[in-house]
């Protein structure tokens, strides 16, 4: 390679040792500058940003967990309120039913009493009617018997005996 001398480059410029001090000097200068910038500015800044982002995200996650807990709490409260309302409604229904039952019982008792009174009255009326009917039958029987006896055996007509016989017969 080094034998080629035409053109501007003499062999490999990489092997031209006369430029080495220059390259090394400027490389070291750049390295020091970049090292300074990296260690003083770049790493603290980006490290800080990443850390902050991490903490912001975990904050949001814990906030979300809080909200979820609140939502669950609200649901539980709602369920509890619903159950209470249902219980109250049932209690009111039972109470109302009991009141109605009491009034119903009262009404039934009154009605029963009235019915009993009417029945007693009717029975009394029936007894009166029956008694008068028996009396009528006895009179008819007496008259009929007396007639039959007078017609069949006029000689032995005796009102007292007839009366006595008819009464005995009716009792039997």
Partner 1 sequence: MAAEEHAEGATLNIHPMDQFQIHSLFGDGPVHWYTPTNVTLWLFIAVAAIVLLMVIATRGRNVVPSRGQSVAEMIYSFVRGMIVDITGEGGLKYFPYIMTLFLLILFTNVLGLLPYSFTVTSHIAVTGVLAMAVFTAVTLLGFIKNGTKFLKIFWISEAPLVLRPILAIIEIISYFVRPVSHSIRLAGNMMAGHAVIKVFAGFAAVLAAGTPLGVGLVAPIVAIMAVYGLELLVVVIQAYVFTILTCVYLNDALHPGH
- C-alpha 52/C-alpha 50 separation (Å) is 5
35 binds partner 1 (CB under 8 A): yes
Contact range with partner 1 by CB under 8 A, out of 14-22, 136-144, 146-154, 163-171: 14-22
Nearest to 166 by CA among 142, 144, 139: 142
Q: Which of residues 42-101 bind partner 1 (CB under 8 A)?
A: 42-43, 45-50, 52-53, 56
Instruction: Closer to partner 1 by CB, 9 or 109: give it.
Output: 9
155 binds partner 1 (CB under 8 A): no
Contact range with partner 1 by CB under 8 A, out of 37-45, 70-78, 140-148, 156-164: 37-45
Q: Which two tokens stand for residue 49?
A: 């940003």
Contact range with partner 1 by CB under 8 A, out of 4-12, 61-69, 106-114, 154-162: 4-12
Contact range with partner 1 by CB under 8 A, out of 32-40, 68-76, 88-96, 127-135: 32-40
Instruction: Closer to partner 1 by CB, 62 or 101: give it.
Output: 62
Cα 5 to Cα 61, 118, 138: the distances in Å are: 70, 151, 178
Q: Which two tokens stand for residue 98?
A: 């009991």
- C-alpha 44/C-alpha 37 separation (Å) is 10
Nearest to 171 by CA among 140, 137, 145: 137
Nearest to 149 by CA among 140, 141, 158: 158
- State the residues that interact with partner 1 by CB under 8 A: 1, 4, 6-9, 11-14, 16, 18-31, 33-35, 37-39, 41-43, 45-50, 52-53, 56
């Amino acid at each position: 390679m080094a034998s080629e001398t035409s053109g501007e480059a003499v062999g490999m410029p990489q092997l031209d040792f006369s430029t080495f001090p220059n390259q090394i000097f400027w490389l070291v200068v750049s390295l020091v500058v970049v090292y300074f910038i990296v260690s003083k500015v770049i790493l603290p800044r980006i490290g800080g940003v990443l850390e902050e982002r991490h903490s912001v995200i975990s904050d949001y996650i814990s906030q979300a967990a809080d909200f979820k807990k609140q939502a669950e709490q609200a649901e539980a409260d709602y369920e509890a309120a619903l159950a209470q309302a249902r219980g109250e409604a049932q209690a009111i229904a039972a109470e109302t039913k009991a009141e109605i039952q009491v009034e119903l019982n009262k009404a039934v008792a009154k009605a029963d009493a009235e019915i009993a009174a009417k029945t007693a009255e009717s029975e009394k009326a029936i007894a009166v009617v029956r008694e008068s009917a028996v009396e009528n039958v006895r009179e008819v029987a007496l008259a009929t018997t007396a007639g039959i006896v007078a017609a069949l055996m006029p000689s032995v007509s005796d009102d007292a005996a007839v009366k006595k016989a008819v009464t005995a017969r009716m009792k039997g």
